[in-house]
Amino acid sequence: MTFTLPALPFSVGALGARGMCQETLELHHGKHHNAYVTALNGLVEKNDALKGKSLEEIVRLSYGKEDLQAVFNNAGQHWNHSVFWESLSPEGGAIPGILEKKLVEDFGGVDKFKEQFKAAALGQFGSGWAWLVLASTGKLKIVKTPNASTPLATGEGRVLMVLDVWEHAYYVDFRNRRPDFTDNFLNKLANYENAAAKLQKA
Ligand code: MN3
């Protein structure tokens, strides 16, 4: 299987008024994400055991395997970025009732959810990701993962939403200010509609 860069679910300039400019998306989607896809295809081409496997299968089978570290890094980054683009919206920040109710139940309020999510985003030392997942307990949970790691591999829950906290995600718009980038995501960019739809399907 040859993997391809998914199209953004919005135009490349669509988030400019909400704190993520066209240059960021051209670099992040067109260069960074594309490079992971290209590298993954090169690695799969050289490894018969991976040919014909889905992206999800490759992420899971390469996790924690020393000899497949490069495969995991590129497959994980491809999967994580694909979820990240779906986690953004030009109409972001509005939380549908069904998700709001669950955030209140499981975190004690929307503000508490945002505090915990921000703490995860800031607490991830170096590169990584902050996630909203539905744990096997049925409760929403926030987790962070380093580098290319992902709940798809760790089994920490079904992914509803993710924020990329690698520096390449925010340096053009926010320079070194990850806290401002995270606040902006939670209040103006986060696609809670998409997260709510995934919650209903889970
Ligand atoms: Mn990234």
Distance 74 CA to ligand 1 centre (A): 11
Distance 169 CA to ligand 1 centre (A): 5
Digit-coded pLDDT (tens) for 94-108? 999 999 999 999 999
Give SS3 for 1: coil
- Hey, what are 8's tokens? 């953004």
CB 87 within 8 A of CB 195: yes
pLDDT score recorded for residue 1: 62
Q: pLDDT-based confidence at 13, cuts 50/70/90? A: very high
Backbone φ and ψ for 142, nearest 5 degrees, come out as -105, 130
- Provide CB contacts within 8 A for 162, sequence distance 6+: 80, 83, 84, 87, 129, 130, 131, 132
pLDDT score recorded for residue 156: 97
Distance 175 CA to ligand 1 centre (A): 15
pLDDT score recorded for residue 31: 98
